[in-house]
Amino acid sequence: MNNVVVRRPTTQVRVHALDGGRVVERPDRLVTEEPMEIRVHGPGQDPMPLAVTMRTPGADFELAVGFCITEGIVTSPDAVARVAYCVEGGEQRYNVVTVRLREPVSLDGHERSFAANASCGLCGKAALEQVEVQCAPVDDDVRVDGSTILELPQRLREAQQVFDVTGGLHAAALFHHDGELMALREDVGRHNALDKLVGYAALERRLPLRAHVVLVSGRVSFEIVQKAAVAGIPVLCAVSAPSSLAVQAATRLGQTVVGFVRPGRFNVYSHAQRVDVAR
């Protein structure tokens, strides 16, 4: 299941830049955004289109597996038999990923009516009934020191290699509850970055992610909360704000949401018992 990166995460361009009162032409690098189709099938089944997402190339297999897990298509990493690029995709062969499962799969209730935009996953849902993903509440009594949470944004930022070049993409980082960085994934889409992280954990047989903390570089949406809950993540942090529906979902799913993690401060919006703060 080696995830061979064929497409580059950045694209070189030339720009006309205003610099010191004069216009200069110089090279620049943009974060790459390309469509990726995810297909899935079980034994004796033909590959079925599941979704098209706009993503940054890299960790494509993790993205496909993570998406299948957080959308409820795959209930266990052990169900994944093989992940591969479509060899008959022609020019788009490295933009089509097929996930083969060990058991037959049904996509009833999971059909998507159109491509999912990189910045929004819910816009690809075909019906309102598909918005809520069913998963058990997060049952984890881990406690995280407040001082550890305050250090996470800097550790995430130091590990963002593609962001250093382009300045134009999101990140999701997985930490042990003591603050050790376990993995980081970047993508033009917030949801994709988290799906890549979940896919990594699935392929490494690390799910559920008990005693772990995830930090996302943007805001926390309802769907980000659900994806994290499916992966068993007890503490979800962000440098920006959560939405009202995200906090409601986290409260219901037993998940701690921490927002506005900035130097010296943060807000805990749900299940604050997991955060130790010196008084």
Catalytic residues: 120
- Give me the residues paired with residue 276 across strands: 145
**What is the distance between the alpha carbons of residues 197 and 177, in angstroms, rounded to a whole number?**
16
Give the whole-angstrom CA distance, residue 187 versus residue 167: 11
Q: Which residues contact 85 (CB under 8 A, 6 or more apart)?
A: 6, 60, 93, 94, 96, 97, 98
| Lookup: tokens for 219 | 């805001």
H runs (alpha helix) in the chain: 60-70, 146-159, 161-166, 190-203, 222-230, 244-252
Residue 131: Cβ within 10 Å count: 12
